[in-house]
Structure 1
Amino acid sequence: MGWLSWIVLGLISGLIAKFLVPGHDGGGLIWTTIVGIVGAFIGGYIGSRIGWGEASSLDLRSIGISVLGAILFLVVWRAVA
């Protein structure tokens, strides 16, 4: 997957994750995209370890895996901050 696909996947999954886990996070669109990209890495790593697959393209499974990773990242981020 190219860098533009990672940005689009990050934006989509970051928006969904921030919608599902409400709270006050500054940063706007750039922070949302970063949350989604980090979530894609986390979700892809965990998903590949348990056999769900990776976040490797712009399909529903990859978006779902990325959203789960982004939710996990947001929960941990808010607990630490």
Structure 2
Amino acid sequence: MGWIITIIIGLVAGAIAHRVLNSRGGFLGSLVVGLVGALVGGELAHLLNLNVTGGLLDRLIVAVLGSILFLFLWRKVFK
């Protein structure tokens, strides 16, 4: 069940990041951006000692912020 929730959160986070940064991305692109963003956001939250309790909304916010950061940096490096 944890895998399914993680994939859904990653997909939603990737789709939100694509919308915020006005970029194109299909299903697979949004999923990859969201999953990588969730990892990036989780590590940043850990490094900044943020109290993320692990609830669904907390995980989604961290994943969205990490996805936006990841997609922004990706576009800066590869454009």
- With the shorter chain as reference, the TM-score category is 0.7 to 0.9
Count of residue pairs the alignment pairs up:
78
1:38-78 CA-partner distances (Å, limit 9, x unpaired)? 00000000001112245845x11111111110001101110
Matches within 5 A, 1:26-41: 26=25, 28-41=26-39
Correspondence 1:43 to 2:41: yes
1:10-65 CA-partner distances (Å, limit 9, x unpaired)? 01111111111112x35x101101100000000000001112245845x1111111
Structural RMSD (CA):
1.9
Normalised by the size of structure 1, how large is the TM-score?
0.83
Matches within 5 A, 1:62-77: 62-77=59-74
Normalised by the size of structure 2, how large is the TM-score?
0.85
Ranges in structure 1 where 5+ consecutive residues have no aligned partner = none
